[in-house]
């Protein structure tokens, strides 16, 4: 009897080869599936989906975007469909399950709009009229109405940015000066003038109004400053939809969150994550590298060194929440509390450094990633042949000169490997951050134009925590879900970009130090 291996040559390697290859294939598949799921669910959310006008068997009408369809529980043929209907203020909910059998007709009339509002989530329905101070345009005016609406929305957004500039650049600094008692004669008047100007701007933003009507027949009049965007997906061509999609993605990346993190963008979280990782790198690299140099190059190699080395390696396995507790106890309450009582006593009892913040979070993560950097750097140092050190010493270099001029430059790629591992670990860490400085909604990013520009004591937003908060702490699961996917995708991308940067850096240095093999 012939053995099966000879009939099937691909089995000749035996079951181990298959098992190993299967392992690789499975890992690859899981990574790809993860990315596809995140990208598919996350990015589809920004697509301007058609709005259906649905008439039910009983004659009732409503409008909404199809979210998904599923079988009715307990029935064989029955299906139900989930619509996103918006109009939370009018209907009480913005999601509606409809039995497919109850639907009489479905249409996509071009005049249906989805209006993004500052409050109450989206409105879905029709625009009845646009009311200016003197004129009124109705649907009969056709394109003129939409043009006017666009123009007026632009005007409002210009006024808004003007108001923000006046507020942040003039009013707030002035108010702060006054609060600190640095009075100049005209300051009080100037403050009043600025306040009046802001009120003026706000009134100007409310000049125009739009009248909306839902398909159920309820009317709603909103001033334009309550609106963010008005789109008519049913009237859009594919390129227009694409550009709208791009615009939405950009807004997601560049704006702050709204509606208790269930809408809007995640810019503060992106910024907070990157800022924290950078600060963590700046803190961990010198410590880790110095510790590795001491352990490998300077300390006498004996039992104590071995013990320290084992300790360092074991620190890498401590659960991150333990580091969080440590950070809270030592950094926040200990050091932060002391700093407050020494330098910010006049602010007490409201804490400055005595509460979680960017600095403490970065320090905690630096501590968490320290073992990784030490181990990677030490391994790099150990790989450098003694011949290199002796070569430098034999030319009259002192030990520190040999270290600085020969050993350290050769160990840079290993240090960067340590940095890559540290960044990968730190950017994905959420648990300890919840204790030492992350917040669900930060009104200000930790970097701005007022001295000292980087505000290390501020709380910050983080992509990982944002996923947790938006997905599991909001009331509206349906609207949070796509944001969770999109945020998760972004977190993966941010880590990827940070890592690729370090890998590119390492590659450049390795090429310069390329070792020729004989």
Query: Which residues sit at the interface with another protein, rule CB under 8 A?
Result: 300-301, 385, 387-388, 390-398, 401, 405-406, 409-410, 512-516, 518
Contact 436, 324 (CB under 8 A): yes
User: At closest approach, how far in Å is the CB of 408 from another protein?
Assistant: 12
DSSP letter, residue 234: G
Cα–chain center distance at 112 = 32
- Residue 204, exposed/middle/buried by CB under 10 A (0-12, 13-18, 19+)? middle
Helix axes 408-427, 477-512, angle to 10 degrees: 170
6 or 511: CB nearest another protein: 511
User: At closest approach, how far in Å is the CB of 507 from another protein?
Assistant: 15
345 or 515: CB nearest another protein: 515
User: At closest approach, how far in Å is the CB of 417 from another protein?
Assistant: 17
3-state secondary structure of 258: strand
Distance CA 203, CA 214 (A): 27
7 or 303: CB nearest another protein: 303
Cα–chain center distance at 175 = 32
293 or 368: CB nearest another protein: 293
User: At closest approach, how far in Å is the CB of 300 from another protein?
Assistant: 6
User: At closest approach, how far in Å is the CB of 299 from another protein?
Assistant: 11
24 or 387: CB nearest another protein: 387
Q: How many CA atoms lie within 13 A of 72 on its CB side?
A: 13
68 or 518: CB nearest another protein: 518
365 or 403: CB nearest another protein: 403
26 or 395: CB nearest another protein: 395
Contact 218, 88 (CB under 8 A): no
Q: Tell me the C-alpha to C-alpha distance, in Å, between residue 270 and each of 153, 193, 363, 492.
A: 28, 37, 19, 11
User: At closest approach, how far in Å is the CB of 397 from another protein?
Assistant: 5
- Helix locations, 327-462, DSSP H: 337-343, 358-383, 386-394, 399-402, 408-427, 431-436
298 or 500: CB nearest another protein: 298
431 or 509: CB nearest another protein: 509
Task: Quote the Cα angle for 481-484-485, to 5°.
Answer: 90
Query: In 8-92, at which residue ranges do the beta strands (DSSP E only) sit?
Result: 52-56, 61-71, 79-84
For 340, residues 6+ apart whose C-beta sits below 8 A from its C-beta are 347, 348, 351, 352, 353, 354
User: At closest approach, how far in Å is the CB of 505 from another protein?
Assistant: 17
DSSP letter, residue 256: -
173 or 409: CB nearest another protein: 409
Q: How many CA atoms lie within 13 A of 217 on its CB side?
A: 2
Terminal alpha carbon distance of the chain = 49
23 or 391: CB nearest another protein: 391
51 or 392: CB nearest another protein: 392
User: At closest approach, how far in Å is the CB of 377 from another protein?
Assistant: 17
Distance CA 119, CA 125 (A): 16
Is-cis flag, bond preceding 349, omega within 30?
Answer: yes
Q: Nearest Cα to 150, choosing from 210, 190, 72, 82?
A: 210
Q: Nearest Cα to 422, choosing from 490, 367, 353?
A: 367
3-state secondary structure of 327: helix
3-state secondary structure of 337: helix
Which secondary structure element, helix H or strand E, spans residue 302, and what is its range? none
For 349, residues 6+ apart whose C-beta sits below 8 A from its C-beta are none
User: At closest approach, how far in Å is the CB of 388 from another protein?
Assistant: 6
79 or 405: CB nearest another protein: 405
> Is residue 177 left, alpha or beta, with left meaning phi > 0 and alpha meaning psi from -120 to 50?
alpha
Q: Tell me the C-alpha to C-alpha distance, in Å, between residue 373 and each of 282, 292, 298, 409, 497.
A: 12, 8, 18, 16, 19
């Amino acid at each position: 009897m012939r053995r099966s291996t000879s009939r099937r040559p691909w089995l000749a390697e035996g079951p181990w080869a298959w098992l190993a290859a299967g392992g690789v294939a499975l890992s690859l598949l899981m990574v790809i599936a993860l990315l596809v799921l995140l990208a598919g669910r996350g990015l589809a959310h920004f697509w301007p989906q058609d709005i259906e006008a649905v008439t039910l068997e009983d004659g009732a009408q409503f409008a909404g975007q199809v979210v998904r369809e599923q079988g009715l529980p307990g029935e064989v043929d029955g299906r139900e469909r989930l619509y996103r209907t918006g109009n939370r203020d009018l209907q009480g909910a913005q999601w509606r399950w409809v039995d497919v059998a109850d639907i009489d007709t479905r249409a996509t009339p071009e005049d249906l709009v989805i209006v993004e509002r500052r409050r109450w989530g989206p409105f879905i329905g029709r625009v009845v009229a646009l009311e200016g101070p003197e004129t009124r345009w109705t649907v009969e005016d056709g394109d003129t109405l939409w043009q006017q609406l666009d123009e007026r929305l632009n005007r409002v957004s210009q006024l808004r940015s003007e108001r923000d500039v006046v507020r942040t650049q003039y009013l707030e600094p002035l108010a702060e000066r006054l609060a600190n008692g640095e009075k100049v004669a005209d300051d009080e008047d100037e403050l009043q003038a600025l306040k009046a100007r802001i009120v003026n701007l706000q009134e100007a933003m409310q000049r125009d109004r739009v009248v909306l009507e839902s398909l159920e027949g309820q009317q709603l009049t909103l001033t334009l400053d309550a609106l963010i965007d008005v789109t008519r997906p049913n009237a859009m061509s594919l390129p227009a939809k694409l550009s709208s999609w791009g615009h939405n993605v950009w807004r997601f990346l560049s704006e702050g969150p709204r509606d208790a993190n269930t809408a809007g963008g995640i810019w503060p979280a992106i910024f907070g994550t990157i800022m924290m990782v950078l600060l963590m790198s700046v803190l961990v690299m010198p410590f880790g590298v110095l510790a590795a140099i001491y352990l490998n190059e300077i300390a006498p190699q004996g039992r104590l060194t071995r013990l320290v080395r084992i300790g360092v390696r074991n620190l890498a396995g401590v659960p991150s929440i333990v580091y969080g507790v440590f950070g809270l106890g030592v950094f926040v309450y200990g050091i932060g509390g002391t700093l407050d009582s020494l330098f910010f006593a006049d602010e007490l009892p409201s804490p400055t450094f005595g509460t979680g913040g960017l600095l403490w979070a970065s320090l905690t993560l630096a501590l968490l990633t320290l073992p990784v950097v030490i181990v990677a750097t030490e391994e790099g140092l150990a790989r450098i042949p003694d011949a290199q050190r002796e070569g430098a010493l034999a030319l009259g270099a002192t030990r520190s000169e040999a270290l600085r001029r020969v050993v350290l430059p050769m160990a840079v790629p290993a240090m960067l490997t340590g940095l890559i591992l540290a960044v990968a670990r730190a950017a994905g860490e959420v648990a300890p951050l919840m204790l030492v400085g992350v917040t669900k909604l930060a009104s200000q990013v930790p970097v701005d134009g007022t001295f000292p520009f980087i505000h290390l004591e501020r709380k910050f937003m983080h992509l990982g925590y944002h996923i947790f908060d938006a997905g599991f702490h909001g009331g509206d699961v349906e609207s949070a879900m796509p944001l969770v996917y999109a945020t998760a995708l972004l977190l993966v991308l941010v880590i990827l970009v940070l890592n690729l940067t370090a890998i590119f850096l390492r590659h450049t240095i390795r090429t310069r130090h390329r070792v020729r093999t004989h």
